[in-house]
Amino acid sequence: MTPENTTARHAVATRPARRMEHFVADVSETPLQATDRVKDEAAPLSLWGEAWKNLRKQPLFLISAFLILVVVAVSLFPALFSPIDPTSEACQLANSDAGPVAGHPLGFTQQGCDVYARVIFGTRSSVTVGLFTTIGVLLIGCILGAVAGYYGGWVDSILARINDIFFALPLILGAIVLMQLPMFRTNRTVWTLVLILVVFGWPQIARITRGAVIEVRNADFVTAARSLGVSKFGALMRHVLPNSLAPIIVVATISLGTFIVAESTLSFLGIGLPPSVMSWGNDIQAAQSSLRSNPMPLLYPAIALSITVLSFIMLGDALRDALDPKARKR
């Protein structure tokens, strides 16, 4: 190595290192302090609290909830929405197929009945059938599905086969067959129709409940409850079933609209509610004879039926997005 190279390397080694200056902004001058701030004192939201927080921001939920509230209010207090009571005021044939006039905004039917009043007062029967059918279906389906899914074994096998038998029977076709029996044909009321729809409508809820219970029954909190001495039935009622309600509520909400459609279909076929009971299905059935000359008496109850069913379907979709983290829209 030459003396020149040795001198150069020595000069580089003895040269003082240059300090790198780092510029760090003050935390108070950046928005990170507000962004990363966490409220330690706030309690964590539960599943239902988180769902309600998300639902309040969804236009789909707000619109469907508003429409359902209007339908429920009309069914409970129809006299507030219609000055005419079609149950006490007889139809006048002089107004047969007449158009809208003052006090009768939707015109008249072929029998001279006010269309608007019949649509308003017919809401109660259709909504009552759908609501109480859903309640009955939930009671039977949740009990059988929860027992089958939680206990398993031969209990699950027997209840699953019974579920398959009823699940294979179409709802409308089964209701048509039962409504032709003498005991039901001579006693066609709202409660008769509710009973028949419950008989054929519970298998879907039972299957959903069974699957949800099977998914939850082996969770850690259920095992911990059992290790602390909680009985199997107590663990089912206190821990398993409450944590399985999310898919059940979604399916029940959509099914309510389905049962309203089933009532209207059976009434349209002439085997549902009797003609003396005002419902949307009966009004559609009565107006089909004058469809070409005056379609409005058929159109308005059909619109009311479609809006009501669509509202429950939209509400079910909104609940599904809020209660199911996997299906939640980001």
60 lies in some domain: no
118 lies in some domain: no
Structural domain count of the chain: 1
Phi-psi region of 205 (alpha: psi -120 to 50; beta: other; left: phi over 0): alpha
Instruction: Report the DSSP beta bridge partners of residue 104.
Output: 101
The mean per-residue pLDDT over the stretch 264-284 comes to: 88
The mean per-residue pLDDT over the stretch 134-159 comes to: 91
pLDDT at 63 over 90: yes
pLDDT at 33 over 90: no
pLDDT at 168 over 90: no
Cα(290)–Cα(269) distance, integer angstroms: 17
Tell me the CATH number at 162.
1.10.3720.10
Task: Work out the pLDDT band at 31, boundaries 50, 70, 90.
Answer: low
DSSP codes of every residue in 20-66: PP-----GGGSTHHHHS---TTSPPP-HHHHHHHHHTT-HHHHHHHH
The model's pLDDT over 91-103, given as tens digits with 9 standing for 90+, comes to 888 777 788 888 8
Task: Work out the pLDDT band at 89, boundaries 50, 70, 90.
Answer: confident
Which domain range does residue 315 map to? 68-82+125-323
43 lies in some domain: no
159 lies in some domain: yes
Which range among 92-96, 175-179, 275-279 shows the weakest confidence by mean pLDDT?
92-96
18 lies in some domain: no
pTM over 0.85: no
Cα(281)–Cα(265) distance, integer angstroms: 6
Instruction: Report the DSSP beta bridge partners of residue 101.
Output: 104
Cα(109)–Cα(92) distance, integer angstroms: 10
Per residue in 114-152, is it b (16+ CB within 10 Å) or e — as a string? bbbbbbbbbbbbbbbbbbbbbebbbebbbebbbbbbbbe
The model's pLDDT over 213-263, given as tens digits with 9 standing for 90+, comes to 998 888 888 888 888 888 888 888 888 888 888 889 989 998 999 999 999
Residues in contact with 28: Cβ distance below 8 Å, sequence separation at least 6, in sequence order: none
Instruction: Report the DSSP beta bridge partners of residue 114.
Output: 108
The model's pLDDT over 285-310, given as tens digits with 9 standing for 90+, comes to 888 888 788 888 899 999 999 999 99
107 lies in some domain: no
Cα(236)–Cα(271) distance, integer angstroms: 41
* pLDDT averaged over every residue in the chain: 83
**Residue 57 near residue 93 (C-beta atoms within 8 A):** no
- Residue showing tokens 């039917």: 109
250 lies in some domain: yes
